[in-house]
Amino acid sequence: MDATVKPLRIPPEMAVYAEKHEIFDLIQTLMRNLIVDKPRDPIQYLIGLLKRENIEVPRVMLLGPPASGKRTLAKKLCECIGAIHVTASDILKDDTDLTRAAQKYREENQEVPQDLWIKLIQQRLWRSDCVRRGWVLEAIPKNRGEALCLQEAGISPEHVVILQAPDNVLIERSLGKRIDPVTGDVYHVTFIWPDSPEVTQRLEKPQGPMTKDHIAQKLRAYHKQACGLQTTYHSRLRVIDADQPHVDVFAQARDYVLTRSRSDAPHTPRIVLLGPPGCGKSLQARLLAHKYSVVDVCCGELLKAVAADDSSMGELIKPFLESGRQVPDLMVRQILTERLSRLDCTTRGWVLHGFPRNVDQAAELQEAGFGPSRVFFLEMSDDVGIARLALRSVDPATGERYHLLLNPAPNEEVQARLWYDPQDSEEELHKRMKDYWDQVAGLQTFYPQAVRVNADQDPHTVFECLESRLVGRLPKVLPDSP
């Protein structure tokens, strides 16, 4: 990089490295934590953050009415993401001045003052285990006022999950609830029953009155506060129907918790579209290029353009294209590297299709410093692909494209002069599709975070699927078991 040359051109490798290691996101996270916590010594505070194993730890609030399954879901989530399960009773277990003060109020059957309760939550969440591994707050906060006080204290969740179910279902669940006094696990006489006879024998009913009227009163009290909680956390909220198998509830909550909030960090799209012939890669690339101003790089068209000029590389690849042979990977890599290194690609980003076709080409692209930030597999059956391609044609007089079923020629005169590409014959298409399916398993292994999209639907629906995964960040990687 030469600072004397204007405009200043930053090598693409720098942006790729920064995005791969999330340098921009790291800086954003550091600044956000600095502003929220307001430490007396900012430099030492930032050094301490950087020494942690992971700065972006889970911060989850799990809310919902009584008997909606919060305890069971919270435990399974913590096992999955490695976070600390924090409940109201857990907060009061510590032997500190604050907890002793709170216990006095509870012994006198008085509600713990809100300011004291917020300090207790802070005290628990600032312990090393929660700081290092993150936390899942169960049934905290209970109302909008408590939520706002937590925000003022710098306790802000990344994800809020609220469970909901009809009151009659919740009442039935409450009446059948059983608790294991040893582990604290919650069971139900109908829905969830332990497999172990030993656990079954020690199950107990929850303490306190468990009549229908009492449960209905608790539900009414919750509903009065639910709207305020949803309003407070509307930007990071996911409401999940709890009246379904707990396995499905957990799957929805887990997928949401693993999603990452949208980042304002700089991002240059580097998109690769893969799929069998006829899946619509070219069309989707044009749509993405039009909306997001990324550069549409079609490998096949790029090779034809190079062969058409008078360069030495064009003279080398022209015989391959004219004879229908495959251009050697080394030449293709050199041409692609030169194109993706141009200023428009490095500043605006690119969407590449037609390459890579196999794992070796994908590895070469990675080694050249042009690893994609998003990879999409457009999937469809061979029959649909053949129907799309074998029946398409071009009017050589106007350049208009037609399809025998979807967009037929307007009259017999146009129909008579239509040109059909020999490569779109069924025999050739079967060969091309076989070549793709022979390589797709290896490519999917090489790109484990690739997104699979059903291409056998309306093109704009496919585009919406691509767009939804393009603008959002990739899901979090599950941590190793602590």
pLDDT in tens, 315-349: 888 888 888 788 888 899 999 999 998 888 888 89
Q: Count Cβ atoms below 10 Å from residue 4 Cβ, excluding itself.
A: 5
Q: Give 19's pLDDT tier (boundaries 50, 70, 90).
A: confident
The pLDDT, as a whole number, for residue 432 is: 87
pLDDT at residue 2 tops 80: no
The pLDDT, as a whole number, for residue 454 is: 94
The pLDDT, as a whole number, for residue 308 is: 85
CA-to-CA distance for 64 and 248, rounded, in angstroms?
Answer: 17
The pLDDT, as a whole number, for residue 482 is: 41
The pLDDT, as a whole number, for residue 336 is: 93
Kindly report the average pLDDT of the chain as a whole number. 85
User: Which range, 14-18, 20-24, 95-99, is most confident?
Assistant: 95-99
Confirm whether 57-258 and 270-471 share one CATH topology.
Answer: yes
Q: Among 33-42, 50-59, 316-325, which is the least confidently predicted range?
A: 50-59
User: Which range, 8-17, 264-273, 372-381, is most confident?
Assistant: 372-381
CA-to-CA distance for 294 and 141, rounded, in angstroms?
Answer: 44
Q: Are 206 and 177 in contact (CB under 8 A)?
A: yes
Q: Give 353's pLDDT tier (boundaries 50, 70, 90).
A: very high
Q: In sequence order, what are the residues at sequence separation of 6 or more whose Cβ sits closer than 8 angstroms to the Cβ of residue 124?
A: 86, 90, 91, 94, 130
Q: How, if at all, do strands 186-188 and 177-179 pair?
A: antiparallel
Q: What is the mean pLDDT of residues 439-452?
A: 92
The dihedrals phi and psi of 153, each to the nearest 5 degrees, come to: -85, 0
The pLDDT, as a whole number, for residue 226 is: 92
Q: Within 13 A of 137's CA, how many CA atoms are on the CB side?
A: 24
Q: What sign for the dihedral angle of Cα 355, 359, 363, 364?
A: negative
The pLDDT, as a whole number, for residue 117 is: 93
Q: What is the mean pLDDT of residues 250-272?
A: 84
Token output for 477: 């990687």
The CATH fold of domain 270-471: Rossmann fold (3.40.50)
The pLDDT, as a whole number, for residue 439 is: 93
Q: What is the mean pLDDT of residues 289-297?
A: 93
The pLDDT, as a whole number, for residue 196 is: 79
Please write the tens of the pLDDT for every residue from 59-99.
999 999 988 989 889 999 999 999 999 999 889 888 888 88
Q: Higher-confidence residue: 119 or 479?
A: 119
Q: What is the mean pLDDT of residues 359-368?
A: 91
pLDDT at residue 4 tops 70: no
Q: Higher-confidence residue: 398 or 189?
A: 398
Q: Give 54's pLDDT tier (boundaries 50, 70, 90).
A: low
The pLDDT, as a whole number, for residue 215 is: 85
pLDDT at residue 481 tops 50: no
Q: What is the mean pLDDT of residues 434-456?
A: 92
The pLDDT, as a whole number, for residue 223 is: 92
- Counting residues of the chain whose pLDDT is more than 70, the rounded percentage is 92
Domain ranges of the chain: 14-56, 57-258, 270-471
Q: What is the mean pLDDT of residues 22-44?
A: 82
Q: What is the mean pLDDT of residues 149-171?
A: 91
The CATH fold of domain 57-258: Rossmann fold (3.40.50)
The pLDDT, as a whole number, for residue 304 is: 87
Q: In sequence order, what are the residues at sequence separation of 6 or more whose Cβ sits closer than 8 angstroms to the Cβ of residue 260?
A: 56, 472, 473, 474, 475, 476
Q: Higher-confidence residue: 270 or 51?
A: 270
pLDDT at residue 152 tops 80: yes
CA-to-CA distance for 269 and 287, rounded, in angstroms?
Answer: 14
Global pTM reads: 0.66
The pLDDT, as a whole number, for residue 398 is: 84
